[in-house]
Amino acid sequence: MNPSLKRFSFQAMGSHCEIQLFHDSRVYAKRLAQKLGTEAHRLEKKYSRFRSDSLASIINRQAGDNYGIKIDQETKLLFDHALTCFEESEGLFDITSGQLSRIWDFKSGRVPDHNRIAKALENTGFDKLSWHRSRLHMPAGMEIDFGGIVKEYAADSLAKLARALGSNSGLINLGGDFSVIGPMPENESWPIAIANPHSTDFTNSVMARINLSDGGLASSGDYERFFFFEGERYSHILNPKTGWPSKGLRAVSVASHLCTVAGSMASIAMLKNETHGIQWLLDSGLPHVYMKQDGEIGGPSLNARLSV
């Protein structure tokens, strides 16, 4: 039998997700997709700051405890990756900025009081964390937010699990963050269309098309959550050094050997000003595409075939 494409959709991490698998048997593919969906929900339950029973919420409730909290190996690896991002971005990528995310309410569409921003900044700073063996000590008032890492990490985790379970041809899509399980039949790449955030019609809805043969691709943008207040546009991408929304690139997509790495690189580019963000992407040497504030699209990976 020739394998055919099977698609399975589900909701996780506040996003529409899809698993695409090439296999002879739909029954087998469905069982595999169910196992992958279970893994996605496990990671959401563990790391979502919106769940009171999540590990992230438990960590935040332990802030200021002199005894600290014991961190498992999986979570320690996320902290290690976050530290690397914090250092390489010179503090722009900071998962300790949960207080800022809390006071900027994009549903109400109002700018928080300057004193509240200043107070949140006092409780922000990855370099304020300390470790004693496997125990994390976090200052009182600080909040961890894994939102800038966990979806991309989950995409990589699902792809790794699928390979371990015997799949060799498939693609994970978690709300626009992709990780390749394995290439399509005959070693063909997966075609991925990157949405144009300025588009108002279907004909111009694609910013770039990328064929991904392995690794992962992640996107970041300021176009999904924002509001206007007194004539000023405020996006949800918050600069943890100033406490205010960044005003750099409008959208960035990056490909790398891991979706986790691609997502962090894209986020850092978004947090920098436009000129520095573009230079950051160029210096990385990774395939990428971006949109500037004026709508201009650039990057070396337009309509590219990528192998990372």
Average pLDDT, the chain: 91
Task: Please compute the mean of the pLDDT values over residues 50-78 and round it to a whole number.
Answer: 96
Asked whether residue 214 falls in the same domain as residue 307, the answer is yes
**Banded pLDDT at 78 (limits 50, 70, 90):** very high
Residue where a domain terminates, one of 144, 169, 199: 144
| Domain boundary residue, one of 159, 178, 197 | 178
| Percentage of residues of the chain with pLDDT beyond 70 | 92
Percent share of the chain, pLDDT over 90: 76
Structural domain includes residue 304: yes
66 and 21 in a common domain: no
Kindly state whether residue 271 falls inside one of the protein's structural domains: yes
What does the alpha-carbon distance between residue 154 and residue 248 come to, in Å, rounded to a whole number? 27
Using DSSP bridges, classify how beta strands 226-229 and 216-221 pair: parallel, antiparallel or unpaired: unpaired
Q: Tell me the pLDDT tens digit for each residue of 164-190.
A: 999 999 999 999 999 999 999 999 999
CATH value at residue 61 = 1.10.3980.10
Which stretch of 5-19, 24-38, 58-72, 234-248 has the lowest confidence by average pLDDT?
A: 234-248
Say if CB 39 and CB 174 are below 8 A apart: no
Query: Sorting pLDDT into bands at 50, 70 and 90, what band is 109?
Result: confident
Residue 222, domain member (yes or no):
yes
**Domain-located, residue 29:** yes
Overall number of domains in the chain: 3
Other CB atoms closer than 10 Å to residue 202's CB: what's the count?
Answer: 7
Domain shared by 66 and 43, yes or no:
no
pLDDT digits (tens, 9 = 90+) for 267-308: 999 999 999 999 999 999 999 999 998 889 998 764 444 444
User: Are 155 and 276 within one domain?
Assistant: no
Q: How far apart are CA 109 and CA 128, in angstroms?
A: 31
| Cβ contacts of 54 within 8 Å, gap of 6 or more | 45, 46, 47, 48
pLDDT of 240-263, one tens digit each?
A: 999 999 989 999 999 999 999 999
Average pLDDT over residues 67-81: 97
Q: Does the pLDDT at position 205 exceed 90?
A: no
Same domain, 21 and 72: no
Give me the pLDDT at residue 303, please: 45
Please indicate, yes or no, whether residues 207 and 306 belong to a single structural domain of this protein.
yes
**Enclosing domain of residue 39:** 1-49+149-178
pLDDT for the residue 235? 77
**Mean pLDDT on 39-49:** 97
Mean pLDDT of 107-122: 88
What is the C-alpha to C-alpha distance for residues 248 and 272, in angstroms, rounded to an integer? 6
Instruction: Answer yes or no: is 183 within a domain.
Output: no
Q: What is the pLDDT of residue 199?
A: 62
Integer Cα distance of 292 and 297 in angstroms: 6
Examine the domain organization and report whether 78 and 217 are in the same domain: no
Identify whether 131 is part of a domain: yes
More confident residue, 215 or 234: 215
Query: Does 206 fall in a domain?
Result: yes
Please tell me the distance from the alpha carbon of residue 178 to that of residue 132, in angstroms, as a whole number.
35
The reply to whether 204 and 237 lie within a common domain is: yes
Q: Quick check: is 184 in a domain?
A: no
Domain identity same for 169 and 211:
no
| For residue 229, pLDDT beyond 70 | no
Domain co-membership, 65 together with 125: yes
C-alpha 276, offset from chain centre? 20
**Cα(214)–Cα(306) distance, rounded to whole angstroms?**
8
Looking at the structure, do residues 195 and 301 belong to the same domain, yes or no? Answer: yes
- 224 band by pLDDT with thresholds 50, 70 and 90: low
28 and 165, same domain (yes or no): yes
Instruction: Quote the pTM value.
Output: 0.92
Is residue 141's pLDDT more than 60? Answer: yes
